[in-house]
Structure 1
Amino acid sequence: DSTGILFGRHMEVLRPQLIKIGGRIYRKNPIQEQTYQHEEEDEDFYQGFMECAEEPCDAYEVVQTQQGFRCTVKAPSLLYKHIVGKRGDTRKKLEVETKTSISIPKPGQEGEIVITGQHRSGVISARTRIDVLLLTFRRKQPFTHFLAFFLNEVEVQERFLKFQEEVLEKCSMTQKDHPNGHTILHLVGGNVNEMPLSDHGVDSTIFQNPKKLHLTIGMLVLLSEQEIQQTCEMLQQCKEEFIDKISGGKPLEVEMAGIEYMNDDPGMVDVLYAKVHMKDGSNSSIGSTWHVPKEHTNDPAKR
């Protein structure tokens, strides 16, 4: 019943799976789907996106059977409902317009979406449209994982603490007392001459724990255990076939200098980070190899 389901979810949060990696222990939180305000508009969305899915792709594996043709689609169960649509309308429209039958696993069950039809072209058309739907709604999911390196070097941590000390010292002054007060006030969104900069939110609580400093490589959306396993295998493959070749088994040199913020408006800063560059420029090659969207790849060490 619903009480049992609710209790089970609470138990997952209170007693999560623990994973030990390199001497560190991590909590593995259950994958949660974010509810969107306009989920009920799947029907309208379907009408709009069909223009982009009219050209079929011949790369799909379509099997001929005694009844016609068959094609399967692997997808996380969290995305099934977007193929079904409100009251099943999206699936019905897909079936009618492509003259196919689409079988989708029940909610909560993992499995494959199966497309069958009398004509190969219809099966391919349905597969193309389903792929567009899956890709579109996957992009709306919140990030579940990120790739990162820990910055465990003592020198990095010590310089970070020195930077924190200098910032807090300057921000304890007023704009009139400090020669760069106007610049700092602009950064934190202030404009009052006699007000300490700490009143604008610049205090010790906004700084990261030095032991948690890390270099973020990219953000990922992994919606099933299978996708997580595939990503782990790709990471190992990336190391063996790519990273080991460009590094020659030696550490890669990274230069960290300067700071940057994540917002076009200095008065609305949420994240301040250090700028990091690979001296040989290999970071851009890694991003293209992983097919990570450019807007979700970083050189910075976030703080």
Structure 2
Amino acid sequence: MIYNVGTRRYRVSTPLDASSPSSTERFCAKNSFQGSQTTKTHRITITIARALHKYLIGRQGSTLSSIREASHCKVTVPRENSKSDTVELEGSEGEIQKARDLIDKVVKENLQKVPYTHFLSLPISDLDVQRKISEFQRDIHGEYFKSLSDTSFNAPASMHVTIGMLRLLTTSEIKGAVKLLKSLHQEVYDLLGTRSLVVKVGNPAAMEANPSKARIIYLNLEDFEDAQRLEKVCGLVRSRFTDAGLIDEVRPLKIHATIMRAAQDSPTTADEPSQAADDRRRDVRVNAVPMLRRYGELSFGACKLGQIQIAKRFHFTDTGAYDSEGAILLP
């Protein structure tokens, strides 16, 4: 069954068909007899991303109980500590279909509550530009933003241009997204030709309309030869992923690289996962006017953007760059 959530098309399972099971659905029929009437019972498994299981279960099991009662179908969800993403349904065809309809409804209502897991990006990997950005961050932290935590400043090795946020909840969705990206290789080359995508990095700015109450400071990027080439490439990739239902953002594309998100840390533990630690940050506002008055036209030089990748949020390599699920190289 496929349904739309915003611009995203989401598949939970295939139509019920006991005669031709799919790879994610297995039927095990058995006969039970009641008097002279034969009742055929089916057992199937459907794939539901683990991130959605808590919504399927509900508070103290309330949602799962209501699905069972309304459908008269036996619904088994993996235990909390299990890594399985398969949900088992057992009952008649009608009972199973009713349960699946109810499960689809729960998934549809809660899908966008699940945090984004990945993002499409162009990494800024030039070491000289990274060094200059690091020095700039250190200077403005000490001179203008002393109250902010160190985590307010993005690691230079992780700098990138974000094309779009992705919510890839299963291995098959990740593989599908990588396959789609690689299929765009020729279209991207048709736009760029044989010329490398070299951009100027600089001109710090505040994301907010009122820089005296700024939260995000970013750098502008501009193609040396034609400013529209970078925008066209990002727009092409974003539109293809939107058409495929993998990007559901409504905000317009903005070409930039974030270097600071003003925040102060809440108490945390040394072994806390990075995503949990990020969630504990307390966003604040700062007056960026004096800093921008001094550094608003600062240039960090030029760098070549060498690839478009699907990066995994909160996961980094030893160098500090984001882990990549897959990428296409640029000229």
| Corresponding position of 1:245 | 187
1:60 equivalent to 2:11? Answer no
The answer to whether the 8 Å contact 2:121/2:164 transfers is yes
Residue 211 (structure 1) shift? 4.3
The answer to whether the 8 Å contact 2:118/2:168 transfers is yes
Structure 2, unpaired ranges of 5+: 1-10, 19-28, 31-39, 260-331
Partner SS for 1:79: helix
The answer to whether the 8 Å contact 1:95/1:101 transfers is yes
Deviates more, 1:73-82 or 1:205-214: 205-214
Alignment size in residue pairs: 215
Report the Cα distance in structure 2 between the residues aligned to 1:298 and 1:58, rounded to whole angstroms.
32
Q: Which of 75, 82, 90 is the aligned partner of 2:48? A: 75
Cα distance change, pair 207–97 in 1 and its aligned pair in 2 (3 A): closer
1:285 equivalent to 2:219? Answer no
| Corresponding position of 1:300 | 256
Q: TM-score, normalised by structure 2?
A: 0.49
Report the Cα distance in structure 2 between the residues aligned to 1:107 and 1:153, rounded to whole angstroms.
43
Q: Percent identity?
A: 20
**Superposed CA offset, 1:229-258 (max 9, x none):** 7425632x2343112333157444667675
Indicate the structure whose relative CO is greater, using CA pairs within 8 Å and at least 6 residues apart: 2
Cα distance change, pair 157–87 in 1 and its aligned pair in 2 (3 A): closer
1:271 equivalent to 2:206? Answer no
The answer to whether the 8 Å contact 1:149/1:215 transfers is yes
Residue 160 (structure 1) shift? 5.0
Cα distance change, pair 61–286 in 1 and its aligned pair in 2 (3 A): same
Q: Which of 67, 83, 107 is the aligned partner of 1:134? A: 107
Equivalent residue letter for 2:249 = K
More helix by share: 1
| Corresponding position of 1:91 | 64
Partner SS for 2:185: helix
Equivalent residue letter for 2:64 = R
More strand by share: 2
Cα distance change, pair 257–71 in 1 and its aligned pair in 2 (3 A): farther
Report the Cα distance in structure 2 between the residues aligned to 1:230 and 1:205, rounded to whole angstroms.
31
Cα distance change, pair 288–255 in 1 and its aligned pair in 2 (3 A): farther
The answer to whether the 8 Å contact 2:162/2:256 transfers is yes
Within-5 A mapping of 1:17-56: none
Cα distance change, pair 102–158 in 1 and its aligned pair in 2 (3 A): closer
Q: TM-score, normalised by structure 1?
A: 0.53
Within-5 A mapping of 1:141-160: 141-153=114-126, 156-157=129-130, 160=133
Structure 1, unpaired ranges of 5+: 1-56, 173-197
Cα distance change, pair 246–84 in 1 and its aligned pair in 2 (3 A): same
Q: Alpha carbon RMSD of aligned pairs, Å?
A: 4.3
| Corresponding position of 1:214 | 160
Partner SS for 1:293: coil
